[in-house]
Structure 1
Amino acid sequence: MTSTSLCNPLNATVTERSAQSSQAQAMASLHHSHPPFDELQWVIRIRRTLTDDLEDETDLPASIFTVPKALKSGNSEPYTPQEVALGPYHHWRPELREMERRKLAAARRVRRSRRGLGGPEFQALAEELAGLEGPIRDCYHRHLHLNGETLGWMMAIDGSFVLEFLQLYRKSSAHNAVILRDMVMLENQIPMFVLRKIVEFHMRSSPEESGAVLCSMLTGLCRELNPFEAAATAEGLPDVKVSESAHLLDFLYQMILPKTDWGRPSEIGNDDHDEAENGEQKPSPFTYAKQLVEEVMNNLRRLASSKPLRAVLMLPWKIISNLPVISAMKQTIEYLFFDEPKEDQDRKTTTPNVPPTVEEIAIPSVTELSKSGVRFVATTGSLTSIRFDHKMATFHLPSISLDMNSEVVMRNLVAYEAAAATVAACGPLAFARYTELMNGIVDTEEDAKYLRERGIIVNHLKSDREVAELWNGMNKSIRLTQVRFMDRAIEDVNNYYGGRWRVRVGKFFNGYVLGSWQILTFLTAVAVVLLLTLQAFCSVFGCSRASPFPSGPR
C-alpha cells in the first residue's frame, strides 16, 4: 500500500513533465513555422529608421517581389529555386539546405583571403551589412521576419557566394546551369548595393572601382543569358550602370530593353530600315504586279465604302435586296462588297490612351500569314525593330536564341516587369507584349520551323516542337498594356491579312456556306429550279442537240 502510494506521485510527476515537454515542442514548432511578432525589435527598427541619418540608399523602392499567383498557377517551377536560395524568401526551405555548405565554403575562402591581406574579419562585413538593415528591407516587397543581425549575416554569405560564382564564370565560363537559372529568378535576388558593398570590402576599393568590377562580372553573365544575342553583337552592349540597377535581373532587363529605347516609341514603326542589313532581296516583277492588283482592289473597296458613294448605292440596294431571290444572298453580298474596311473601324474604335483588349492581340499564325503572302525577315535589332512593311508585305522580327535557360529567363523578366510596374511609374510592358505576340503567331512546330529557317529563331533546344511548346506555354499576363510600335505592327498585319480576297472568300465560305445550311439549301433549290426551267424550255421549243457550227461538205 505504501509503495503504491509512493509510486503514484512519481508517475504523475513524470507524466506531467512529459506533457509539458510535448507542449513546448509543439509551441516551438509553431513558432518556427510562424515566427512570433517581436514588439521590442519592431520598436527598435522603427526608431532607427526615423532617427538615424542614413544615406540616400534608404529611400529605395521595392524591387524584389514575390511572383503573382496569376503567373505561377499551373507552372510554378520556373519561378521557384531548385538548387540554391539567395536572400530571405526561400532561405528556410529544407530541400535547399544542401547548398548551404557551398555558400559557407565561399564565406570561409573570403575570410581566409582577408586574413592573408591583413583585412578585417568576415564578421565585420556581416556587421556592416546589418547596419544597412533598413535599406535592405526596403528592397524586399514582402515583410521579412528576421532581425537585423540575421539579415546581415544572410546577405554577407549569400552575396559572397554570388560574387564567387560570377568570378568563376568570368574566368572559365564553366557554370552549373541549374544554379544559373536560380540566380535570375525574381524571388531569388540580392540587392545590387549589397553586392557593391561586398566587392568594396573584398578589394578595399572606392565605390567607383567596386562598381566597375561588378559591372564587368555582370556583363559577362548577362551576355550569356541575353536571348537577343544578335542585337547585342550588332548594336553593342548598352551602357547599363550598376548604380542604377536594383539587382541582377534588373541589370539583365536593362540590357534587353534599355531605357533610351522608350524616348520615341511612336516613331519607331515609321523608321526606314536598310533592306541590305536585313538580308532582303528585291521582289520579282510578278510580286509587283500582284501588289498592283491588290492596291487597285483596295482602292476600289475604299471608294465603294466612301460616304457619298455608299449613300448613292445603298438606296437602290435596299430596294433590290428585298426581292425574294436577292434577299437570301443579302448577307453574302454585303460581306464581300459593302463591309467597312477594318483599318477604318480600328481607327474609330482605337484610342491611344486605352489599353488593348484581349481580342485585339489576336493575330494569324506564321503558317496562315505566309500563305497569304507575308514574308518574315530577321533583324539584328532589339524589340524596337519589330514592324510590318505593308508595301512589301514583310514582317520584321528580331532574332532570338532559345536554349535551356530561355524559359526561366523570359518568364521571370515578364514577372519582374509586371511587378515593378505596380509600384513605380515605368515604361510599357514591352517584354510581356512581345511574348504575347510570339505566342499568337507560333501555334505549331511548323510555325517554329518556318521562323527557324528564316533566322528569326535560333534553336538550341531539342526540336521545333519544344520551341512551339515554350511559346504556347507563355500565355498568362498580369494585365494588358499598350506598346505603340508593337501594337501598330500587329494592327498592320491584321489589316493586311483581313484585306486579302483569298482570306475574305475563305472566311465567307467557312462562315456563311459551310456554317449555314440555309445557304446550301438555297443554292441547291436554285440549281434545281434552273434545271427544271431548262428542261421545260427544251420540251416546248425542242432543243436540238446538233452542233451550231456548220459541218463540211458531205
Structure 2
Amino acid sequence: MARATPSLSSTFNSIAMNSKVDVDENKWVESVRKSIIEQEDEELNKIPVCIFTVPKVLLATDPKSYIPQQVALGPFHHWRAEVYDMQRYKLAAARRLQTFMNVRFERIVETMKIREEARIRACYHKFLDMSGDALMWMMAVDMAFLLEFLVVYSMKREGRVLKRITSSMSHLVDVTGKKLSHVAILRDLVMVENQIPLFLIKTMMEHQQRRESDIKSPAEKLKSMLMGLYQELTPFTEQALADVDIDECDHLLDFLYHMTVPNNKELGISVAVEIEYEGITEEADEGDEEKSFSKPSDLRRFMNFIWKILTKSNAGMVRIFKKIIFRRPVALMMKFPWKIISNIPILKLLKGPMENMFHNFRGEGPESKDESGDSKTPTIEEITIPSVTEMANAGILFSPVNGGIFDISFNAKTCTLYLPVVSLDVNTDVYLRNLVAYEACVAAGPLVVARYTELMNGIIDTEEDAKFLRERGIVVNRLKSDKEVADVWNGMSKSVKLTKVAKMDKVIADVNHMYEQTWKVKTSRYLKRYVFASWKILTLLAALFMLFLSTVQALCTVYSCSRALSHLPEFPGSEGGE
C-alpha cells in the first residue's frame, strides 16, 4: 500500500506536465489554417463539444477514479506508458475486424480520415495536437477494440443473453464478470476522459451489416450492447428502463448518464416539469420560530423583557449600582486592571466567545461573512440532514424501492423514507464519480447525480449507518465491509457547484421537518440548550466572578480603597440607628 500513493501522484504530475509540452509551431499553424480556411462546412460548427477533461476540483480528490489504469481510448491518455501495454490487444482486435470485413484496415482508416476527421476533432473540447494520420489510426484501432468488447453485452429482447467470445478475448472479458482485467476495463470505459464518439461505432456496424443477414439495424444492435453494459454497471435496480434514443447519445458515458438521469421524453412524460435550481439557500418560515436558530427563543425573550424592566427602573438599588459603576474614581480603578486582564493570553481567548454569548443574548447572532464582507453562500458541507441512525432513533422508518434516483420520496403520514436499492461493488465508486464529473461538464440545469451523492453522504456517516441500510435491504454490499460502503459515500461529497433538485430538496426538507418535530429530538435539544448549556454558562460566569473578586482583593492590598469607599452612597434609614 505504501507504494501505491507515490505512483498515483507521479501519474497525476506527469499528466500535468504533458499539458505543457512544446508544440511544433509549423504543424500548429497548418492545422489552424486547415481548420479555418479549408473547412467551410456549416454543419461542423453545429457539432457540440461532448468529450471533456475532468474538472480539476474533482480530479484532485481521487485521480485514480478519473485516470484510466488498464486501457486508454481516444487521444487524452493514449501515450501514457501505464496503458500502452494494452496496444497489442487493440491491434489483435483490429486484425480480426479486418478479416471479418474482408477489407484492408488501411482502407478503413483512409475513409475515416476523409469523412470524419473534422467531426472527430470537433467533439473534443481540448485542442488535439496530432496529425490527421495519427489521430485516425488511433481512433480506428480503439474503435475496433471497443466494438469487440461491447459484443459481450449484446442482449435479446426477452432477456440478457451473453454471446460466446473468442479465445483471444477470453483473458480480458468473462461472462461472469469476475476476472480482474475485465473489471479494470469496465472501470476505464466509463471515465470522462476515455470516451470516443459513438457515431464511429455506428458507422462501422453499418458496414458490417452489409456482410451479415441480420434483421436488426445497427442502431438496435448497438443499443442492445449498451443496455447490457448499463445493467452490468448501474448500481440501481429499475423495474422499467428509460427508452433512450441511441442517435442522440454522443458517446458511451453519455448513454449511461441518460439511462441514469432520463429526461421527460425518455421517461415517456409529456407534461413538462418546471425545476428550480437557482441555489440551495432555503429561507425559514417566519411563522415557524422553532426551526430557526437565529430567532430568539421563549427564554431569551423573557430575559430581554426582564432586562428592559431593570434598565428603565428608578429603584434605589439600581441607582446605587449605577453610582458604584459610573463613579469616576471607581471607574478609573476598574478600567485600569481590566485592560491588563484582557491582554492576558489565556483570558484573551475568552473574548470572542464572551462577545458571541452577549450578541446571542441580545438576539444579534453573528453573521457569516466571507473575506470581502459579503454574506457567505452555504457550502456543500453545510447542507445537513440527520444520519440514518439519528433518524431511526427519532422514529423515522426506511423502505427500499426498486427504482432510480427519481424514486426517492418521503411519506409524512407513515414517517417513512423511501430510497432506491443501490448495489455497491468495486466499480460503483468510479461509475458514480464520472457521472458526477460528466454532469458538471454538460448539464445546464440541476446536477441530479451530484445531489443524490450529497444526500447519501449526508445520511451515511459511519459504518453503523451503512449496516442499518444493508439490513433494511436498501444497500446491497458487495464490498468487504460496511466501513467501505460508508467510505464510498463520504468520499464523493466534493462537487463543482451548488445546485438544487426540486424533488430531492423537498424530501430533505420534509425529513428535517419531521425529525425536528419528534419528541425525542425536542427533549434532547431542550436539555442541551437550557440545562447542559446553562451549566456551562454558569460555570464560566462563576469563574469570571471569582477572578474579579481576586483582582479587587489584590488591588485593595496595593492601593488604598478607603477613598473610593467613602464616596459610596448610604442606604436610606441607615443613619440614626434603627
The TM-score, its normalising length taken from structure 1, stands at 0.69
Superposition pairs for residues 472-487 of structure 1, below 5 Å? 472-487=490-505
Superposition pairs for residues 313-328 of structure 1, below 5 Å? 319=305
| Aligned match for 2:70, one of 52, 67, 83 | 83
| Aligned match for 2:229, one of 221, 238, 251 | 221
Aligned residue in 1 for 2:96: 109
> Cα distance 1:315–1:245, how it changes in 2: closer, same or farther (>3 A)?
closer
1:158 aligned onto 2:142: yes
| Aligned match for 2:430, one of 389, 408, 421 | 408
**Distance in 1 between the 2:505 and 2:477 partners?**
26
**Distance in 1 between the 2:307 and 2:517 partners?**
25
Shift of the alpha carbon at 1:57? 6.5
Shift of the alpha carbon at 1:73? 1.1
Q: Give the structure with the higher percent helix.
A: 1
* Secondary structure at 1:142 match in 2: coil
| Aligned match for 2:480, one of 436, 458, 462 | 462
Superposition pairs for residues 371-386 of structure 1, below 5 Å? 371-386=393-408
Q: Is the CA contact (8 Å cut-off) linking 2:153 and 2:226 kept in structure 1?
A: no
Q: Is the CA contact (8 Å cut-off) linking 2:408 and 2:418 kept in structure 1?
A: yes
Aligned residue in 2 for 1:204: 210
Shift of the alpha carbon at 1:130? 1.4
Shift of the alpha carbon at 1:522? 10
Shift of the alpha carbon at 1:441? 0.4
| Aligned match for 1:489, one of 496, 507, 518 | 507
Aligned residue in 2 for 1:506: 524
Superposition pairs for residues 51-130 of structure 1, below 5 Å? 52=41, 56=43, 59-115=46-102, 120-130=103-113
Choose 392-401 or 199-208, whichever is displaced more: 199-208
Shift of the alpha carbon at 1:134? 1.4
Shift of the alpha carbon at 1:265? 4.8
Q: Is the CA contact (8 Å cut-off) linking 1:59 and 1:138 kept in structure 2?
A: no
Shift of the alpha carbon at 1:217? 1.1
Superposition pairs for residues 361-380 of structure 1, below 5 Å? 361-380=383-402
1:21-57 deviations in Å (ceiling 9; x for gaps): xxxxxxxxx999433131223212322322x47xx56
Aligned residue in 2 for 1:452: 470
Superposition pairs for residues 134-173 of structure 1, below 5 Å? 134-170=118-154, 171-172=163-164, 173=175
> Cα distance 1:267–1:242, how it changes in 2: closer, same or farther (>3 A)?
closer
Aligned residue in 1 for 2:370: none
1:417 aligned onto 2:439: yes
| Aligned match for 2:456, one of 434, 438, 451 | 438
| Aligned match for 1:45, one of 6, 26, 35 | 35
> Cα distance 1:166–1:458, how it changes in 2: closer, same or farther (>3 A)?
same
**Distance in 2 between the 1:362 and 1:316 partners?**
30
How many equivalent pairs are there?
419
> Cα distance 1:523–1:369, how it changes in 2: closer, same or farther (>3 A)?
farther
Q: Is the CA contact (8 Å cut-off) linking 1:62 and 1:141 kept in structure 2?
A: yes
**Distance in 2 between the 1:477 and 1:65 partners?**
16
1:38-92 deviations in Å (ceiling 9; x for gaps): 1223212322322x47xx5662211111111101113100101001110000001
> Cα distance 1:321–1:70, how it changes in 2: closer, same or farther (>3 A)?
same
Q: Is the CA contact (8 Å cut-off) linking 1:136 and 1:191 kept in structure 2?
A: yes
* Secondary structure at 2:39 match in 1: helix
Matched AA of 1:46: I
Q: Is the CA contact (8 Å cut-off) linking 1:83 and 1:99 kept in structure 2?
A: yes
**Distance in 2 between the 1:503 and 1:248 partners?**
47
RMSD of aligned alpha carbons: 3.6
| Aligned match for 1:35, one of 23, 37, 42 | 23
Shift of the alpha carbon at 1:141? 1.3
The TM-score, its normalising length taken from structure 2, stands at 0.66
Matched AA of 2:201: L
**Structure 2: any 5+ residue segments left out of the alignment?**
1-17, 155-162, 165-174, 277-286, 311-356, 364-376, 543-578
**Distance in 1 between the 2:439 and 2:141 partners?**
28
> Cα distance 1:318–1:42, how it changes in 2: closer, same or farther (>3 A)?
closer
Aligned residue in 1 for 2:249: 245
Q: Is the CA contact (8 Å cut-off) linking 2:73 and 2:194 kept in structure 1?
A: yes
Shift of the alpha carbon at 1:360? 5.9
